[in-house]
Amino acid sequence: MYVTEGSQGAQRVLYYDRVEQFKSKVQSSGPLKGAWLTQGSTLVAQNLAQRDLDFLILDGQHGYLDETLIGPMLTAIAPFAPLPIVRVPWNDPAIVMKTLDSGALGVICPMIDSREECEKFVRACRYAPRGYRSWGPTRLTSFDSSAANPQRANSILTLAMVETAKAADAIDGITSVEGLDAVFVGPADLAITYGYAPSDQRNEKMVAVLTRVVESCKTNGVLAGTAPLTLDDARVAAEIGFDFFAIGSDLSFMGVGAASVAAQAASFGKS
């Protein structure tokens, strides 16, 4: 049991119940907003967990994180409301399973290009007979006994990253995989595979591709998320119909904040 903070005061919520809360909030309040954790600081993670965010993604692919940092960071943010999600570095079942044992309530798997790759990922997240995840939630059972129940653990979010033209072409096969909860678009890599700059997110072709991905998600009953590079990109993503998006990172927030303070302080003492 962990305490999550809400507008009605603190309430005790079973750890895995937070996944269903996230899904329900998407339906009632979407699109939801989150942020990336990239720098391996438990203090920064805990700080961001107390902001008005619906989820936090620990970036094990491009961030400066490994398993020795991800566990403590998950512990740091667990008492707070944002859903803890981890992006693993690759579609490796061993890494996926260990990430789940560490306490992630969602796993993002990068570079899913086909139905077969998606099935491999999803099955690594589920216990038999739905998958082949090995049972051993050592860390989780120390603070939530429900982690020992395979059926409870099967509720974690599975998020397949669609970030290539090949994946976009295979989108209906991906979104119809049993047990997949969400598609998470990597728009920078997606743009590159279509011959555009990573920042070129709002041209006609990209908007059409993103719209097609969202339509497939809705047809097959899975959520659609993305990681827009700017707030303007996020606004377009919301208009297209994405259910949730990551709008920045610990590092970018720090940079923007420092630049803002420095700019304001530059005028002090000038007549």
Given the residues 5, 6, 24, 62, the one annotated as active site: 62
Cα separation, 150 vs 140, whole angstroms: 12
Cβ(246)–Cβ(35) below 8 Å: yes
What tokens appear for 51 in the block?
A: 């902001």
Query: 125-136 burial, b if ≥16 CB within 10 A, otherwise e?
Result: bbbeeebebeee
35 catalytic residue (yes or no):
no
Burial, 269: exposed, middle or buried (Cβ in 10 Å; 0-12, 13-18, 19+)?
A: exposed
Q: Which helix (H) or strand (E) holds 150?
A: helix 150-153
Q: Do the Cβ atoms of 102 and 164 come closer than 8 Å?
A: no
What's the CA gap between 220 and 217, in Å, rounded? 5
Long-range CB contacts for residues 133-138, cutoff 8 Å, separation at least 24: 133/97, 133/100, 134/97, 136/101, 137/100, 137/101, 138/101
Q: What whole-number distance in Å separates Cα of residue 234 and Cα of residue 205?
A: 17
Q: Which residues are catalytic?
A: 62
